[in-house]
Amino acid sequence: MVSSPNNTGTQVTEFLMICFPGMQDTQHWLSVILAPLLILALGANFVLLFTIHQDTSLHEPMFYLLAILSVLDVIVCLTVIPKVLLIFWFNMKPISFVGCFLQMFIMNTFLPMESSTFLVMAYDRYVAICHPLRYPSIITEQFVINSAIFIVFRNLLATLPTPVLAARLNYCASNVVENCICANISVAKLSCGDIHLNKLYQFVSVWCLLGSDLVLILLSYCFILRVVMCQQSGGAVTKALSTCGSHLILILFFYTLLLVFIFTNKAGKKIPSEVPILLNVLHHLIPPALNPIVYGVRTQEIKQGIIKLFKH
């Protein structure tokens, strides 16, 4: 920190990440779990991306959407977990002022992008099951391009004010962040200013983005379930449900973990502070590790593509 000519305090130039305040002597043992999960997440997503790239039979909109999800997973992992491991292994707690808010920006933007990708994938499944004859004309490569543009700009515009509002605050006191990640509120509460606007905007943006995505996803699956239940053929029902199974598993896991983190964080002093911190870290790691594995195991085309890739 350096002296500020405008006040009697100091002006923060970097932050210190102390991760788990009550586990300073033992927190490094968490790396035994986090490091293998990081390797698994990166390895599985790169294998999936390379398989989709190499296998021409996978050059279809559904698999392009899965590739977008994998790219987002890799970015989320690399933004958060390597820094956490550096803190655990080498006690590298400092993070620059710019670096902290860049991490905050990526986290706040790319997690909602994953949610939006799940929404587009739910629409893909809705069209495939409810309007199968129109599927080739609706779900095209141009649809994927338009969806990618929608995912990027919608979430970029909605989440950009979060790190901007936090960065404009006056940090003139403590620079110790009691978190492994530059989360908005964890950093903003260190400032000398009023952070009510920061809290309000984060609350509104999170529930508007993720909440609307979840409602539309659930609505699409209600339509899918209604159509499936009306089908007379048992084989058709099984096939229809199997195409949605992987997607639904990942959606439920993504939103369940997110909601548990949100409500745990809101519980405040009733729950040890280490719990929401750990859940926040895991939410940036477990879904990225789980997504390609579930699709690789449950989707026959991807499974065959991976087997073909390793044979060659």
pLDDT tens digits, one per residue of 202-256: 889 988 999 999 999 999 999 988 888 777 555 555 665 666 888 888 888 888 8
Looking at residue 1, its pLDDT comes to 46
Phi, then psi, of 25 in degrees rounded to 5: -85, -20
Look up the pTM and report it.
Answer: 0.90
Tell me if 287 sits within 8 A of 73, measured CB to CB.
yes
* Residue among 186, 210, 211 at smallest CA distance from 199: 186
* Residue among 64, 36, 38 at smallest CA distance from 51: 64
Torsion of the alpha carbons at 238, 243, 248 and 251, rounded to the nearest 10: 180
Helices (H), the chain: 31-54, 61-90, 97-130, 135-138, 141-159, 161-167, 184-188, 196-230, 234-266, 274-283, 286-298, 300-311
Instruction: Give 11-58 pLDDT, tens digit per residue.
Output: 778 899 988 877 877 888 889 999 999 999 999 999 999 999 999 999
Torsion of the alpha carbons at 116, 120, 123 and 127, rounded to the nearest 10: 180
Looking at residue 5, its pLDDT comes to 41
- Mean pLDDT along residues 74-92: 93
The amino acid present at 126, given as its one-letter code, is Y
Q: What percent of the chain has pLDDT over 90?
A: 55
**b/e map 141-164, b = 16+ CB within 10 Å:** eebbeebbeebeeebeebbeebbe
Cα–Cα distance for residue pair 209/60, rounded to 1 Å: 27
Looking at residue 37, its pLDDT comes to 94
